Amino acid sequence: MFQLAVIGNPIEHSLSPQIHARFAESLGLCVNYQKLLAPLDQFESTARQFLASAQGANVTVPFKQQAFDLCDQLTPEAKLAGAVNTLWQQNDLLFGDNTDGKGLIKALDQAGFSLRGKKVVLIGAGGAARGALGPLLAEAPSELCLVNRTQSKAKALSDDFAEFSEGTRLHACSITDLSGEFDLVINASSSSLSGAPLELPANFSAKQAMDMMYSKASGETAFTRQMQALGAQTSDGLLMLINQAALSFERWCGKAPKLDQIDFSFLRGDH
């Protein structure tokens, strides 16, 4: 039996146990994946105690940075992201990976979107944007424009990743300076939590738009609705969530879930 968990605060809303249960079922593996609520000042003790007798744990808000700081060994993705969402212990050493960025790329790929040579906008400069940047640049878009409510953070992110941007015009700009048509806009900010649209300039549009936030009920968020009105094809973050989970599962259990053979429609609707 694989013992797994997701550690966060709050954690009640997490869909991860249901997603991992489907992975295990589809592969004929025996997995117990639980939700662990860590008190805000006790992430380290909660994680270490669980991992002493478990195969691995996911880490979610607000502990990804703390998880990064605790690790003895990090994957290149975790190092670049400065955050860890996947933990496991081996020979008394704590290992950390970040599967969010690769999960995003896989989700875009499954939605039929190729990034190579494309003009892309990334909104947000928090943990999710930082985790996405390395994997996005590795796909060689022609332009990657970083936009954030607090502009100085987008500029800092652009500076931090300049050395990985060969072949891509990586730059930060203000939301009001966005102009013309982009191939893809990704919302890696929490703006949709408020239900309010972003203040986008009138001459901005995009062919495709993805909100990392997901909506259980309809698959639509404030951002996807806003971009649909501008003519974009849209998706929420559910496919990204499933893909980052699959990468963690493979890391711990040694088998990759075959996502095209699993029906995830149960994740939509009230439950």
Which positions are catalytic? 64
2 and 34 Cβ atoms separated by less than 8 Å: no
Select the residue interacting with ligand NDP from 45, 114, 150, 174 (CB under 6 A): 150
Q: Give 267's DSSP letter.
A: G
> Residue 14, interface with ligand NDP (CB under 6 A)?
no
> Residue 189, interface with ligand NDP (CB under 6 A)?
yes
Q: Which of residues 208-227 bind ligand NDP (CB under 6 A)?
A: 212-214
Which sign does the torsion angle of CA 175, 228, 186, 69 carry? positive
Q: Which of residues 49-78 bind ligand NDP (CB under 6 A)?
A: none
Number of residues that bind ligand NDP (CB under 6 A): 24
Q: Which of residues 96-135 bind ligand NDP (CB under 6 A)?
A: 100, 103, 124-129
Q: What is the Cβ-side half-sphere exposure of residue 116, based on CA atoms within 13 angstroms?
A: 3
Which pairs from 77-81 meet CB under 8 Å and 24+ separation?
77/101, 77/102, 77/131, 77/134, 77/135, 80/133, 80/134, 80/164, 81/127, 81/130, 81/131, 81/134
> Residue 249, interface with ligand NDP (CB under 6 A)?
no
Supply the minimum distance, in Å, between the C-beta of residue 19 and ligand NDP: 10
The tokens describing 15, both together, are 């869909």
63: left (phi over 0), alpha (psi -120 to 50) or beta: alpha
> Residue 153, interface with ligand NDP (CB under 6 A)?
yes
Q: Which stretch binds ligand NDP (CB under 6 A): 21-29, 74-82, 166-174, 182-190?
A: 182-190
The CA distance from 218 to 7, in Å, is 26
Binding mask 225-244 for ligand NDP (x = CB under 6 A): ------------x--xx--x
Q: Which is nearer to ligand NDP, 168 or 191 (CB)?
A: 191
Question: Which residue's entry shows tokens 């805000």?
Answer: 40
> Residue 145, interface with ligand NDP (CB under 6 A)?
no
The residue ranges that bind ligand NDP (CB under 6 A) are: 100, 103, 124-129, 148-150, 153, 188-191, 194, 212-214, 237, 240-241, 244
